[in-house]
Structure 1
Amino acid sequence: MNADAIILGNRRFLCLSPTLVRLEYAADARFEDRQSVVAAAPRRPARFRAHEREGRWDVLDTGFMQIRAAEHLDPFHRLNLEIRWSDSRLMQCWRPGDRDHQNLGGALRSLDRYGGEAARLDGVHPAGMESPDPLATNWPAWIQCEVDPLYESLHPNPPADFNRGDWLGEARRERNDGRFLHRTFNWYKEARRFAPGLLSASGYFFLNDSESAVFDHEGFPVERRRPGAQDWYFFAYGRNYRQALADFRLLSGPGSLPPLKSLGIQFSRWPAFTEAEIADLVRSFAANGYPLSTIIMDMEWHKEGWGHWEFNPDLIPDPARFFASCREMGLDVVFNDHPLDVREDDEHFTAYVREARPDVEIREREYNGKRVRMAKVDICDKRQNRAFCAVCHAPILKLGLDYWWNDGSRGQMIATSGQLVANQTFFEESERNGRRGMLLA
């Protein structure tokens, strides 16, 4: 508990800076002190400049904005909370539920399905308490191609195994009665806009952090499991966008400096290359005055098929020699990674299942006409995450891999994507031996 916090009934108020405040509600007055995946930095609250009472309102003054709150045993809503601040000599006021139509937009989670004849971005979703994130819907493109004319033009020949797999049954039924078609086109309608971001011409940003994962004592993301609790941050910065960025850095922590070689020339191609071809590439780049710093191998580094973690003997017959050779040439090495499953015909399968039990799911999937048993990797499950990293990743990193190109992950966690958890995990793997962390995703 922080001594600078103001607790009123079932609410806690923190002034993190004159332009950033935290507002919490918990029915049992047990507030969240762990860092979240969004608010990841240690909190060093400032003090409110003043706390006064005006009728039924408690008024907390940060020096830039005033938080006016009443009914402290109840959750926040627009009748018991308002925030006021001055922007260019005009008084501004925000209440829960207000919509901001001047938000400047946030970052895209992925560039998949954008460009060409697919979705073209032409705006920003209004920012507010329930702003939709179009990129949270992860429809597989090869399902869309059967029902969406946009994807039919891009993928005229769906995969041969399109109609196989139990989980596709519901999608096919939805397609047949029109629900899937409606939802697919609705995805495009939503995806044509950016999700809201931190900066807004309205001069404020509301961040609802109530459900995002928090870090346990080992630094692993876990669900809060606090239904009904509210954990909000409010940024009020007017036209001072630098202040907004500084406040977000205060909340989330500083960005990591990338390793020096990641700023040099990185090279990848499909199909992948042998050791001899890598040596030729290094000589060719150097001869033209452009020294190569990083070699990136797509999924061909391993045996054919996702779920394999054994080296492709045709490209890398001697892994130790391969990494030693790359190191002699001054190269960092990056491998493509699909941490979704471990196949039964892979040498790591038995060890992974043993370490990941009791909750690991084993299922059959068809690949190139063969039925293959595969152990699922839920990267958000701590036991499976640790087992996967120890059994499948650690031996390759020990041989000399510098970092991963994380090409998609699977995980079940409320308000937090498996991709985010995997990115954190694999980034931390690359920080071994005092190195600066790095990841492609």
Structure 2
Amino acid sequence: MVFNVIMKKKLLFLLCILQGVLSVSQAQNTQRNIAYTDANVRFSVISDGVLRLEYAPDGVFVDDASHLAVNRLYPQATYQLKTSGGWIEIATPKMKMRYKKNSGQFTDRNLVITAAKGASPFTWKPGIQQKGNLKGTYRTLDGMDGDTQSQTWVADTKQGEKLKLEDGLLATDGWTFIDDSKGLLFDNDPDWNWVKERPANGGQDWYFMTYGRDYKAALKDYTLFSGKVPLPPRYAFGYWWSRYWLYSDKEFRNLIDNFHTYQIPLDVLVVDMDWHYTEKGKGGWTGWTWNRDLFPNPKQFLGYLKDNKVKVTLNLHPADGVASYEENYSGLAADMGIDPQSKQTIPWINSDKKFMQKMFKHILTLMEKDGVTFGGWIGNKESMTRKLRT
């Protein structure tokens, strides 16, 4: 028995060393893969199936990570570059790109991408649209009866309208064009990487992917520049329970007991908005203070859930900000430069780095310390347009 434990520890140690060596090796084998650059254009080969195409009228190219593309270093790629004559030509095993030298921003007159010999045939120029997009997701399914909107209060769709899924990443066309020209960038702050706007210089920052019907290869290529997708924790794949109802601490405990009685596994409990006060003068649709009428001792309630191995998240509707009647208002207001005596509501601007730092300090992190498993189930009543503050 002791021998087995020692062997397991040695094996774990060796695996850790091997993982470290592999990580260093992978980091050393990544590079920017810039195939061609001049005063105004730059072309990078992310993989044999992905190109990055940049046009910068002022000659200033973007090296910072963006919301879309967090990686700027890629594995070594195979390509051929030709610059003779009046055209720049980059060929990979999957495609060939041609751009007319010194011809300005990318248009259908100076840029064309075609399939490589033996690959699924296609010809793409700027402006050509996909015909077989496999679609993606939608912001909310509120009010949907199947694929038809049954309610009148949902802003995204009118009653009787069919669900119109957004375009997704993949298409039967075998190629995907992505325009990141106006996407937000990150500021490289080592303490908390935050958003910043791109220079308004009329530049173009494009990605072109080709994959035929090899959709798995397309997803892998996408992660090379967009970043790997973290695996959610195991409990996230389990049974979630949520109901929009005025529950109390005692009623939730009875609910958990019933799950045990009927031997139904429960992984995540979503406590809807009545966890906080909702009556005028103490709360509303937005709230940050536990309703002591329903939850006399929130920490004990959260501890009970932990003892029963149930993760918990709270329904949040943050759009109305933090009002003066909230328990932690004074500290947050002071840190935001607002006189607490003024009772001025602190607006919710989640693009404001200072506000979000103080929001975590005074409210959100304290919730987690009390036992809330993860940050909150964000409701759909929030405005789709918010002021960007960087």
How far did 1:119 drift? 4.6
Q: CA RMSD in A?
A: 3.2
Structure 1, unmatched stretches of 5+, are 121-139, 154-187, 364-371, 422-441
What CA distance in whole angstroms lies between the structure 1 residues aligned with 2:148 and 2:73?
Answer: 42
Secondary structure, counterpart of 2:235 in structure 1? helix
Question: Structure 1 263/102 Cα, relative in aligned 2: closer, same or farther at 3 Å?
Answer: closer
The answer on whether the counterparts of 1:307 and 1:374 sit within 8 Å (CA) in structure 2 is no
Contact kept, 8 Å, 1:61 with 1:67, in 2: the verdict is yes
Q: Please, which of 33, 41, 49 is the counterpart of residue 11 of structure 1? A: 41
The equivalences for 1:112-261 within 5 A come to 112=142, 114-115=144-145, 118-119=148-149, 142=153, 151=159, 193-217=164-188, 218-261=192-235
Structure with higher Rg: it is: 2
Give how far 1:116 is off: 6.2
State the alpha-carbon separation in 2 of the partners of residues 192 and 107 from structure 1. 10
Check if 1:342 corresponds to 2:313.
Answer: no
Query: Residues 302 and 312 of structure 1 are in contact (CA less than 8 Å); yes or no, is this contact kept in structure 2?
Result: yes
Aligned to 1:388: 359
Give the alignment partner of residue 400 of structure 1, picking from 371, 377, 388.
371
* Structure 2 contact 33–73 (Cα < 8 Å) conserved: no
Match status 1:31 vs 2:2: no
- The correspondence for 1:58, drawn from 88, 93, 113, is 88
User: How far apart are residue 8 of structure 1 and its match?
Assistant: 2.6
Provide the secondary structure at the position in 1 that maps to 2:171.
coil
Give 1:328's aligned residue: 307
Q: Residues of 2 paired with 1:119 and 1:316: CA distance?
A: 36
What's the TM-score, normalizing by structure 2? 0.79
Residue identity opposite 1:307 in structure 2: T
Q: Secondary structure at the match of 1:390?
A: helix
Instruction: Give the deviation of 1:9 after TM superposition.
Output: 2.7
CA distance in 1, matches of 2:147, 2:310: 38
CA contact (8 A) 1:51 1:61 kept: yes
Given that 1:48 and 1:60 are in contact with CA atoms closer than 8 Å, whether structure 2 keeps it comes out as no
Q: How many residues align?
A: 346
Matched, 1:314 2:293: yes
Q: Secondary structure at the match of 2:83?
A: strand
Query: For residue 69 of structure 2, what is the amino acid of its counterpart?
Result: A
Task: For 2:171 and 2:248, locate their aligned partners in 1 and report how far apart those are by CA, in whole Å.
Answer: 50
Contact 1:4/1:47 (8 A) holds in 2: no
Q: Per-residue CA shift, 1:291-334, capped at 9, x if unaligned?
A: 32222100001111133211101121112222222212222111
Shift of 1:112: 3.5
Question: 28-37 or 275-284: which moved more?
Answer: 275-284
In the aligned structure 2, how far is the partner of 1:212 from the partner of 1:26? 15
Change (3 A) 1:90 1:3: closer
Residue pair 1:338, 1:407 contacting (<8 A) in 2 also: yes
Secondary structure (helix, strand or coil) at the match of 2:318 reads coil
Deviation per residue, 1:395-420 (Å, 9 max, x gap): 11111100111114456367xxx9xx
Tell me the CA shift for residue 94 of structure 1. Answer: 0.7
Q: Distance in 2 between matches of 1:19 and 1:379?
A: 36
Work out whether 1:41 is the aligned partner of 2:15. no
Equivalent position of 2:13 in the other structure: none
Matched, 1:379 2:350: yes
Consecutive unaligned residues of structure 2, counting only runs of 5 or more, are 1-30, 279-283
Contact 1:339 1:377 in 2 (8 A): yes
The corresponding residue for 1:177 is: none
- The percent identity for this pair of structures is 28
SS of aligned partner of 1:262: helix
Change (3 A) 1:32 1:88: same
Structure 1: distance between partners of 2:202 and 2:169: 25
- 8 Å CA contact 2:93–2:116 kept in 1: the answer is no
* Alignment CA distance shift 1:89-1:285 (3 Å): closer
1:351 Cα deviation from its structure 2 partner:
2.8
Q: Distance in 1 between matches of 2:201 and 2:269?
A: 47
**Separation of aligned partners in 2, 1:311 and 1:87:** 64
Is the contact made by 1:86 and 1:92 (CA closer than 8 Å) also made in structure 2? Answer: no
**Which residue identity lines up with residue 38 of structure 2 in the other structure?**
L
Q: In 2, Cα distance between the equivalents of 1:389 and 1:141?
A: 35
Distance in 1, matches of 2:273 and 2:323, equals 15
Whole-angstrom distance in 2 between the partners of 1:100 and 1:257: 30
Match for 1:92 among 99, 115, 122?
Answer: 122
Alignment deviations for residues 16-50 of structure 1 (CA, whole Å, 9 cap, x no partner): 11001101111122211122111123531534521
Whole-Å separation in 1 of the counterparts to 2:72 and 2:111: 26
Amino acid at match of 2:216: R
Aligned partners of 2:70 and 2:327: how far apart in 1?
37
Alpha-carbon distance between aligned partners in 2 of 1:87 and 1:196, rounded to the nearest angstrom: 29
Deviations 1:175-228 (A, max 9, x none): xxxxxxxxxxxxx6xx75332221111111000011111222232222223331
Provide Cα deviations, 1:39-71, integer angstroms capped at 9, x if missing partner.
123531534521113531111112221110113
Give the 3 Å change call, closer, same or farther, for CA 67–143 of structure 1 in structure 2: closer
Q: Which moved more, 1:15-24 or 1:210-219?
A: 210-219
Change (3 A) 1:318 1:229: same
User: Which residue number corresponds to residue 67 of structure 1?
Assistant: 97
How many Å separate the matches in 1 of 2:139 and 2:102? 37
